[in-house]
């Protein structure tokens, strides 16, 4: 993280991501206050509360917190991490991973992660053992851009850091892959995205026909976005050469990063085009594509509030209801405009108490469901 120009990518197995984390819900976690490894780090670097400065002034435990490194990366590319983790790992801890995964998603920095209900000594060769292949790292190069993925609707729920919360076995960004023959020109960035099957000790998990995922072009070599100027994009399905998505996006922060939201990726593959150079490559329809009504929670788990993204036919007109686990309606919004509107709608949920909720969107004969996990 501190020498990103030298690191193309990393494969980590049961790694420690945040040496400053002292609040793992498992009281036996080795890095909690008073436990063996925390005593060791206190002797080596001082306590977390003291947080002594390094010679360059950086607080020690900020240098030893990958989440802080991601937040401070700025225009630097965060080298993508492929991580294998155990949810019952009481050595390096599990709760710190939930915090780190949330930071990567918020900052749109990518990475691929796998976890299973195993301890520190068995996770790497356990359920996800067949996915541990260092040769996969060769698809990354310091002089080659890549798509940083986030908010895939196939992502598992990591929970709130307790063993019993979230999915016991799960993945983040694992079902989507890309060809390394990207186009990275000053006015055009293009990549081919595909679904992939996942190998486990119990057999193969076959990828669904398609998924939705946010794509942020990263480690760009030539492509350049200008803050305040929109960029056209399009998605071409390779099986029938049909244009299935078009739109415009704007750089959404001071770093000039661009995220294409909810890209539809098919098993047969799609080509995603971004930039003014794509105008001649795409026959852009006069209206956005329509499809089944879909609903996605933008950040999962949500902290206090949640954001919903509705897409497809009727997204602008759908009625949306939020239920608690007892089936009570705790929030709802009426349908939107009666006339045809763009097939995308963003909604912010109210402040919610920690817990599990279910959201339902209905319009005509269409219905979409999703769950919302809220943590402190």
The predicted pLDDT at position 342 comes to 52
Which residue segment(s) compose the domain that 358 sits in?
A: 294-375
Question: 119 or 368, which is more confident?
Answer: 119
The predicted pLDDT at position 351 comes to 85
Q: Are 321 and 329 in contact (CB under 8 A)?
A: yes
pLDDT average, residue stretch 210-214:
95
Q: Which CATH number characterizes residue 280's domain?
A: 2.60.40
Please tell me whether residues 80 and 214 are part of one structural domain.
no
Q: Are 93 and 139 in contact (CB under 8 A)?
A: no
pLDDT average, residue stretch 7-27:
96
The predicted pLDDT at position 354 comes to 87
Q: Are 83 and 132 in contact (CB under 8 A)?
A: no
Mind listing the pLDDT tens digit for each residue in 267-284? 999 999 999 875 545 544
pLDDT average, residue stretch 295-321:
79
Please tell me whether residues 366 and 276 are part of one structural domain.
no
Residue 137 is encoded by which pair of tokens?
């790292």
Confidence of residue 286 (pLDDT cuts 50, 70, 90): very low
The predicted pLDDT at position 291 comes to 58
Query: pTM score, two decimals?
Result: 0.75
Q: How many whole angstroms separate alpha carbon 61 and alpha carbon 23? A: 15
Using a 10 angstrom Cβ sphere, with 0-12 exposed, 13-18 middle and 19 or more buried, the burial of residue 169 is: middle
Domain end residue (candidates: 174, 190, 225):
174
Please tell me whether residues 42 and 152 are part of one structural domain.
yes
Q: Which residue has the tokens 């594509």?
A: 289
The predicted pLDDT at position 356 comes to 87
Please tell me whether residues 213 and 157 are part of one structural domain.
no
Q: Which CATH number characterizes residue 321's domain?
A: 2.60.40.1930
Q: How many whole angstroms separate alpha carbon 373 and alpha carbon 162? A: 13
The predicted pLDDT at position 339 comes to 44
- Give the rounded percent of residues in the chain with a pLDDT score beyond 90: 64
pLDDT average, residue stretch 1-18:
92
Mind listing the pLDDT tens digit for each residue in 152-198? 999 999 999 999 999 999 999 999 999 999 999 999 999 999 999 99
Write the CB contacts of 171 (distance below 8 Å, at least 6 apart in sequence).
112, 113, 114, 115, 154, 155, 156, 198
Write down the mean pLDDT value for the chain: 88
Please tell me whether residues 25 and 104 are part of one structural domain.
yes
- If one counts the domains in the chain, the total is 3
pLDDT average, residue stretch 134-152:
94
Please tell me whether residues 255 and 189 are part of one structural domain.
yes
Mind listing the pLDDT tens digit for each residue in 53-97? 999 999 999 999 999 999 888 888 899 999 999 999 999 999 999
Given a cut of 60, is residue 285 above it in pLDDT? no
Domain end residue (candidates: 289, 317, 352):
289
Q: Are 208 and 198 in contact (CB under 8 A)?
A: no
Q: Are 48 and 81 in contact (CB under 8 A)?
A: no
The predicted pLDDT at position 178 comes to 96
Please tell me whether residues 128 and 8 are part of one structural domain.
yes
């Amino acid at each position: 993280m501190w020498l990103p120009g030298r690191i193309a990518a990393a494969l980590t197995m049961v790694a420690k991501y945040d040496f400053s984390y002292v609040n793992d819900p498992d009281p036996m976690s080795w890095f909690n206050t008073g436990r063996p490894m925390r005593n060791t780090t206190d002797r080596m670097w001082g306590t977390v509360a003291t947080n002594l400065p390094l010679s360059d002034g950086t607080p020690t435990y900020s240098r030893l917190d990958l989440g802080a490194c991601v937040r401070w990366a700025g225009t630097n590319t965060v080298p993508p991490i492929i991580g294998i983790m155990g949810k019952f790992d009481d050595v390096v801890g599990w709760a710190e991973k939930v915090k780190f995964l949330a930071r990567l998603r918020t900052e749109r920095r990518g990475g691929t992660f796998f976890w299973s209900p195993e301890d520190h000594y068995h996770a790497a060769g356990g359920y996800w053992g067949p996915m541990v292949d260092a040769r996969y790292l060769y698809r990354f190069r310091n002089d080659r851009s890549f798509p940083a993925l986030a908010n895939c609707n196939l992502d598992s729920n990591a929970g709130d850091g307790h063993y019993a919360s979230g999915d016991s076995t799960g993945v983040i960004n694992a079902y989507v892959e890309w060809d390394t023959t990207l186009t990275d020109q000053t006015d055009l960035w293009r990549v081919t995205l595909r679904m992939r099957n996942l190998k486990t000790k119990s057999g193969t998990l076959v990828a669904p026909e398609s998924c939705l995922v946010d794509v942020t072009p990263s480690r760009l070599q030539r492509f350049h976005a200008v803050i305040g100027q929109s960029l056209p994009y399009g998605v071409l399905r390779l099986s029938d050469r049909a244009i299935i998505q078009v739109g415009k996006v704007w750089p959404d922060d001071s770093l000039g990063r661009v995220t294409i939201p909810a890209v539809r990726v098919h098993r047969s593959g799609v080509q995603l085009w971004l930039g003014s150079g794509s105008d001649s490559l795409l026959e852009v329809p006069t209206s956005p594509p329509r499809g089944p009504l879909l609903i996605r929670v933008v950040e999962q788990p949500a902290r206090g509030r949640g954001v919903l993204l509705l897409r497809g036919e009727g997204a602008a007109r759908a009625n949306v209801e939020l239920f608690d686990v007892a089936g009570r309606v705790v929030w709802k919004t009426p349908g939107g405009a009666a006339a045809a509107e763009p097939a995308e709608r963003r909604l912010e949920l109210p402040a919610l108490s920690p817990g599990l909720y279910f959201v339902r969107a209905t319009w005509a004969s269409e219905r979409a469901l999703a769950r919302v996990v809220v943590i402190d």
